[in-house]
């Protein structure tokens, strides 16, 4: 069975994760769900005479939903039956499609990687071509699109209360990892009954770093298979592509991010292969790639990538 969750004021939370929010839908472990998302506030919408398609549910959310804390519009949460704290939610990203023919990019003074260098704010509407899967930048460049969700996460621990979607944390959230395209899998530690998965912050394309604070922000539709795992004792998000394992670090200090991603990769390698910690550390030095995920979300991000072809042993 394939479920569908549409974006609406009743199924979207604007700006926050909160473990006390009731699920918009419940599915069984291993089932597939299509989730529709929207992006942006009233200031990011192009003029009505510009000829772009504006999802009507976006306007409805603006009119009827309250943006309680700064952050993104998320669709969800989706409860997965049987999910309990200590389990892991396996999020297989089966497909990602554009839902509109435009995206937006914003520069904001006092934000981004160079917060003092750009003192004039701007918002640019960027046409998107779904046939060619390119974005038309204003100087004529046709930039290839590689869509992914900037925000994918489960409910945070109940004692955290209501938290902004901006800072990525152990529950996932605003990870902004451009590797998480269709065909990849995200693993999220579960902190509450039902896991309570939400997603949003659709990106048409983004560079590592997301340095000006936004990518090409747009509305996306994602097809996910959500499976509860009780055989993966992890404490921070991980991911897997067809060719690589990915571990992640998220902290205000990039050095701490590096340490977190590296330590978790060492653990994953030793669990998967039986290598000693020393050998795994050496392999990370010889073949692991540390990359900057993003530098703009308060908690910055580093991820480490390791080719699965270099590893033997059980699959996690």
Question: Which part of the chain is CATH 2.60.120.580?
Answer: 2-14+23-44+53-102+146-229
What are the phi and psi torsion angles at 271 (to 5°)? -65, -35
Instruction: Confirm if 191 and 155 have CB atoms less than 8 A apart.
Output: yes
pLDDT of residue 313: 57
Please, what is the average pLDDT of the chain? 96
Pick the CATH number of 243-310 from 2.40.280.10, 3.10.28.20, 3.30.460.30, 3.40.50.300: 3.10.28.20
Classify domain 2-14+23-44+53-102+146-229 at the CATH topology level: Jelly Rolls (2.60.120)
Model pLDDT for residues 17-45, shown as the tens digit of each residue: 999 999 999 999 999 999 999 999 999 99
* Nearest-angstrom CA–CA distance, 156 and 19: 6
Confidence class for position 134, pLDDT limits 50, 70, 90: very high
Model pLDDT for residues 223-276, shown as the tens digit of each residue: 999 999 999 999 999 999 999 999 999 999 999 999 999 999 999 999 999 999
The predicted model gives 104-108 an average pLDDT of: 97
Please check the confidence at residue 315 and state whether its pLDDT lies above 80. Answer: no
């Amino acid at each position: 069975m394939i479920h569908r969750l549409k974006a609406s004021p009743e199924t979207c939370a604007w700006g926050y994760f909160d473990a006390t929010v009731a699920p918009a839908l419940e599915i069984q472990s291993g089932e597939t769900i299509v989730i529709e998302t929207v992006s942006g506030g009233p200031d990011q919408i192009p003029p009505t005479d510009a000829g772009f398609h504006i999802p009507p549910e976006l306007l409805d959310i603006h009119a009827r939903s309250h943006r309680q804390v700064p952050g993104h519009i998320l669709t969800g949460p989706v409860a997965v039956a049987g999910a309990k704290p200590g389990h892991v939610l396996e999020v297989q990203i089966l497909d990602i499609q554009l839902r509109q023919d435009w995206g937006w990019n914003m520069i904001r003074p006092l934000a981004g990687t160079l917060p003092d260098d750009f003192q004039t704010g701007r918002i640019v509407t960027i046409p998107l071509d779904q046939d060619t899967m390119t974005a038309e930048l204003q100087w004529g460049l046709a930039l290839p699109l590689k869509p992914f969700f900037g925000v994918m996460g489960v409910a945070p621990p109940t004692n955290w209360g209501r938290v902004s979607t901006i800072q990525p944390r152990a529950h996932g959230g605003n990870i902004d990892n451009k590797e998480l395209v269709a065909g990849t899998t995200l693993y999220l530690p579960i902190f509450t009954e039902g896991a309570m998965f939400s997603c949003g912050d659709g990106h048409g394309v983004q560079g590592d770093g997301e340095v000006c604070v936004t990518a090409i922000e747009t509305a996306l539709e994602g097809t996910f298979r959500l499976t509860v795992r009780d055989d993966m004792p992890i404490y921070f998000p991980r991911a897997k592509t067809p060719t690589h394992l990915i571990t992640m670090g998220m902290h205000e200090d990039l050095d701490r991010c590096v340490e977190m991603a590296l330590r978790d990769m060492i653990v994953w390698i030793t669990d998967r292969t039986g290598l000693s910690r020393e050998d795994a550390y050496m392999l990370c030095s010889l073949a692991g790639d540390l990359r900057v995920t993003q530098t703009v979300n308060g908690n910055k991000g580093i991820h480490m990538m390791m080719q699965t072809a270099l590893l033997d042993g059980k699959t996690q």
